[in-house]
Amino acid sequence: MSKSLDWIKSHLLLFVSTLIFIFLVAPNAVMLLFSFNQPANKYNFIWNKFSTNAWEHPCASADMCSSIKLSVGIAIIAMIGSTVLGTMVAFAMMRHRFRGRSLLNVLLFLPMAAPEVTMGITLMTFFYNTSGSNSLGFGTIIIAHVMFSLSYVVVTVKARLAGMDPTLEKAAADLYATPVQTFRRVTLPLVLPGILAAALLSFALSIDDYIITVLTAGNEVTFPMYVYASFQHSVPAQIDVIGSTMLLITLAGIAFAQVPQIIKTRRA
């Protein structure tokens, strides 16, 4: 008996961590599973019978699919905007000296820490008072999305820059590269993975956002808004189909990113 106790003690950390991993993964597994369910009623909560119906007819609800199109469009634009602005800020912070660094740190931290509902409501009052209550819509959503993902881009690109050997740029200058050439040939290729990761993060944050979006969307309906609103009266299996697709794309992305690493280890 004490033998198995010992085994548990020494493997306690592994045990607990596995439990937590299962906790994190369970809803995704359920979501995947239930995308193949044919619900008995309007709510896809209880297993009824296996069916690929939802996958074959993902746009059974036209409203849902148009909300997805809108969400994707917004996410792409917001991704580009926040990545460009955020990368510039990250470079300034990591490669230059300037005044007001503490203030900048706080300013960048606040959007990550603040409750979304406060950012939503304050933006709403801002738009009401500056461009009128009818101005809420596509543009204001994008403004809001760029705003709250900016800080995440900065953190991500900063981390990548921090991991870069600062001597490399000096070596490039030593080897006749002008500042522009140094940036193009040395800095950019090495930072690019970080910039791409930041862009992806920004896309994910945008496509999934509900609270800030609902307060700045006016009459537009994004996918999260559709899900939230329809929750009251129905949860069709198509919702799980969309969620599973997002999950699979994310997992594929992660697997894809690991490929260069695996090739490297194989070759060496």
Partner 1 sequence: MTTLDAVGDLRLTGLTKRFGSFTAVDDLDLTIPQGSFFALLGASGCGKTTTLRMVSGLEDPTAGRIYLGDTEVTHTKPYKRPVNTVFQNYALFPHLNIYDNVAFGLRRRGVKDVRKQVEDILALVELGHLAKRKPTQLSGGQQQRVAVARALINQPQVLLLDEPLGALDLKLRRQMQIELKRIQTEVGLTFVHVTHDQEEAMTMADTIAVMNAGRIEQLGSPEELYENPATTFVANFLGQSNLVAGTVAGKEGDVVTVEAHGHRVALPSARCRPDSGAAIIGVRPEKVQLVAAGGAAPDGHNLLAGGVVSDASFIGVSTQYLVKMPWGQELAVFEQNTGKEIFRPGSEVSLHWDPTQTFGLDGGQDIEAGAEIDDEAAK
Partner 2 sequence: MTAVTAPAAPPSLAEAAGDHQKKRNYLPYVLLAPGVAWLVVFFLIPIFYAVSASVQTGSLDMGFKVTWDWANYQSTFSTYNTEIIHSLIYSVACTVICLLLGFPLAYFIAFRGGKWKNLLMALVIAPAFTSFLIRTIAWETILSDHGWVTRVLSDTKVSSVMVHLGLLTNSHQLLNTPFSVIFGMVYNFLPFTVLPLYTSLEKIDPRLHEAGADLYSSAYKTWRYVTWPLALPGVIAGTLLTFIPAVGDYINAYMLGSPNTQVIGQVIENEALRDVFGYPIASAMGVILTFGTLAIVLGYVKKAGSEDLL
| DSSP symbol at 135 | G
- Among residues 9, 6, 60, the alpha carbon closest in space to that of 236 is found at 60
Residue from 33, 40, 171, 262 in contact with partner 1 (CB under 8 A): 171
Residue with Cβ nearer partner 2 (52 or 252): 252
Q: Which residues pair with 43 in a beta bridge?
A: 235
Maximum alpha-carbon separation in the chain: 72
Q: At closest approach, how far in Å is the CB of 106 from partner 2?
A: 6
Which of partner 2, partner 1, none is residue 4 near (CB under 5 to 8 Å by kind)? none
Angle at 149 between CA 216 and CA 118, to 5 degrees: 45
Picked from partner 2, partner 1, none, the partner binding residue 83 (CB below 5 to 8 A depending on kind) is none
- Is residue 165 a contact point for partner 1 (CB under 8 A)? yes
Among 30, 80, 190, 246, binds partner 1 (CB under 8 A): 190
> Does residue 31 interact with partner 1 by CB under 8 A?
no
Residue 122 interacting entry, from partner 1, partner 2, none, C-beta within 5 to 8 Å by type: partner 2
CA distance 11 to 127: 55
Which amino acid, 141?
I
Nearer Cβ to partner 1, position 186 or 201? Answer: 186
Does 159 bind partner 1 (CB under 8 A)? Our answer is no
Give the helix, strand, coil percentages of the chain, each rounded to 5. Answer: 80, 0, 20
If residue 136 lies in a helix (H) or strand (E), which one and from where to where?
Answer: none
Closest CA relative to residue 145, chosen from 254, 224, 242: 224
Q: How far is the CB of 155 from partner 1 (least distance, A)?
A: 23
Closest CB to partner 2 among residues 15, 57? 15
Return d(Cα 133, Cα 125) in angstroms, integer: 9
Count of residues binding partner 1 (CB under 8 A)?
19
Cross-strand bridge partners of residue 37? 50
The listed partner (partner 1, partner 2, none) that binds 222, CB under 5 to 8 Å by sort, is none
Secondary structure letter of residue 184 according to DSSP: I
List binders of partner 1 among 210-239 (CB under 8 A).
Answer: none
Q: Give the residues lining the site for partner 1 (CB under 8 A).
A: 165, 167-168, 170-178, 181, 185-186, 189-190, 267-268
